[in-house]
Amino acid sequence: MSDSDTILSALADGVLSLTLNRPDKLNSFNEEMHLALRAGFERAHKDADVRAVLLTGAGRGFSAGQDLGDRDPRKGTPDLGHTIETFYNPLLRLIRSLEKPVVCAVNGVAAGAGANIAFACDITLAARSARFIQAFAKIGLVPDSGGTWNLPRLVGEARAKALALTAEPLDAETAANWGLIWRAIDDDKLMDEAKALAIRLAAGPTKGLGLTKRAIQAAATNSLDEQLDLERDLQREAGHSADYAEGVTAFLEKRKPEFKGQ
Ligand code: T3D
């Protein structure tokens, strides 16, 4: 793990909590925070004690996307393709390929890459006061961090284009009604609800939950035939898991299951 304080990291109850921690810059991404967040997700991939991840932000915002202080054009033109390839794309791939649930608690404004990282998580809750902004349009950029892939799939082309071309803020309630996130929660209850959800998932049959995540994500590009074959293969794998044996045994014995994520 990175020892940077730009990401606060704590493991408890099987949940790895990763908190974006540059609150004076609305948790915008600089290279140090990128590397620290990546280290957190790499740990989640490797560490069997991590059964779920909870991603949130410190202070009044979730994330304002790229730190524009690092992008002053008066000091030269950066190669943004290089930074996408080096930082944002690996992060998105780590989140999507992690076969454990990733809960995101959007505690305040989520702009640019900050919004699209939130949309890439598995279950995203947002404080009622939070706003989502495809801020790229305000500075001449293209939505990244999977935005152009996720937005049309989640809300359809008309809404995706309007969000991306106007950069108008979207409130949390509407984001939930449109299917961009799971739920809008009263601000003072957000973190309690997000933690409870992450702990519940971490105590669940995380092997099967991970396979479920893989299947649902594959549906975006599979035909029905391909998806039916994938369901067969993944069900076979799930059926051999210790968690499946425990779940059925516990049901038959009328007791609470104790899943191990195996
Ligand atoms: O470059 C690449 O590698 C390519 C990848 C790009 C990915 C991207 O994310 S591009 C999009 C970058 N983000 C933005 O364009 C958003 C810029 N921020 C805003 O539009 C607004 O700050 C918000 C709408 C997000 C929030 O507005 P508000 O009024 O609630 O807060 P504020 O007063 O604007 O910001 C508070 C502080 O955070 C302020 O600092 P100060 O003046 O108090 O010292 C502000 O400068 C700072 N801040 C906010 N966003 C950023 C930021 N500092 C650096 N970078 C930011 N993105």
Question: Does the CA dihedral 181-184-189-193 come out positive or negative?
Answer: negative
Residue-level pLDDT at 120: 98
pLDDT in tens, 98-129: 999 999 999 999 999 999 999 999 999 999 99
Contact status, residue 66 vs residue 86, Cβ threshold 8 Å: no
22 C-beta closer than 6 A to ligand 1:
no
Which amino acid, one-letter code, is at 193? E
The CATH number of domain 7-202, selected from 3.90.226.10, 3.40.50.1820, 3.90.1720.10, 2.170.8.10: 3.90.226.10
pLDDT in tens, 127-141: 999 999 999 999 999
Q: 246: closest CA among 230, 262, 235?
A: 262
57 beta partners: 20
Rounded CA-CA distance 138/60 in Å is: 22
92 C-beta closer than 6 A to ligand 1:
no
Residue 58 has pLDDT above 80, yes or no: yes
Locate the domains of the chain by residue range. 7-202, 206-252
Domain 206-252 sits in CATH 1.10.12: yes
Cα 240 to Cα 184, 235, 246, 253, distances in angstroms? 37, 9, 11, 20
106 beta partners: 126
Tell me, in angstroms, the distance from the centre of ligand 1 to residue 133's CA. 11
Q: 114: closest CA among 98, 94, 91?
A: 91
- How much of the chain exceeds pLDDT 70, in percent? 99
Residue 1 has pLDDT above 70, yes or no: no
Rounded CA-CA distance 242/6 in Å is: 38
The whole-model pTM stands at 0.98
pLDDT in tens, 196-250: 999 999 999 999 999 999 999 999 999 999 999 999 999 999 999 999 999 999 9
Residue-level pLDDT at 3: 77
Contact status, residue 172 vs residue 190, Cβ threshold 8 Å: no
Pocket test for ligand 1, best of 24, 26, 27 (most atoms within 8 A of CB): 26
Reported confidence tier of residue 2, pLDDT bands at 50, 70, 90: low
